[in-house]
Amino acid sequence: MYEIVNSLSDKRASLVKAICCRYGEKRKNEGETFINSREIYHHFKMRLRQEQESFICVYLDNKHRIISEKMITQGTLNQSLVHPRECFAPAIQQRAAAIIFIHNHPSGEPEPSGADIKITKRLCEVGKLVGIKVLDHVIIGDGYYSFVDEGMLPI
């Protein structure tokens, strides 16, 4: 397959790679719910297998059904700058009741960095302030790390 992709133009190669990535995902649609962090991982793992960090927010209604998801930022090889304003503005506009944060580690190591822990704490504080519950922060690499599963989500 890689020979075929390499022989295509850059634009077409990108499209073929995107289609292949989507094929391997177990996607949830608007109105559906995530039961656990493993489902979140399977929903995003193929899309977030890339060479730069990306940070995504999933906005949920009061029954934790998916309203929408938004790519907040794409960063560099090993970091993505995230500001609470960028995460919560769409949540407020869409009248979301809850939010899930997802980002990737291109290194493959899903363990959170000090910066990941710090921003998660800050995002949870903002969530409390604006009345939007933070349900989880999942880091995707070769496997995943869930702040909820590990008891690391600030209350």
107-145: per-residue pLDDT in tens? 999 999 999 999 999 999 999 999 999 999 999 999 999
Average pLDDT of the chain? 86
What pLDDT sits at residue 73?
Answer: 92
Task: Express each pLDDT in 55-76 by its tens digit.
Answer: 999 999 999 999 999 999 987 6
pTM for the model: 0.81
What's the chain look like in SS3?
A: CHHHHHHCCHHHHHHHHHHHHHHCCCCCCCCCECCCHHHHHHHHCCCCCCCCCEEEEEEECCCCEEEEEEEEEECCCCCCCCCHHHHHHHHHHCCCCEEEEEEECCCCCCCCCHHHHHHHHHHHHHHHHHCCEEEEEEEEECEEEECCCCCCCCC
Domain boundaries, the chain: 30-146
Domain 30-146 has CATH 3.40.140.10: yes
Predicted confidence (pLDDT) at residue 29 exceeds the cutoff of 70: no
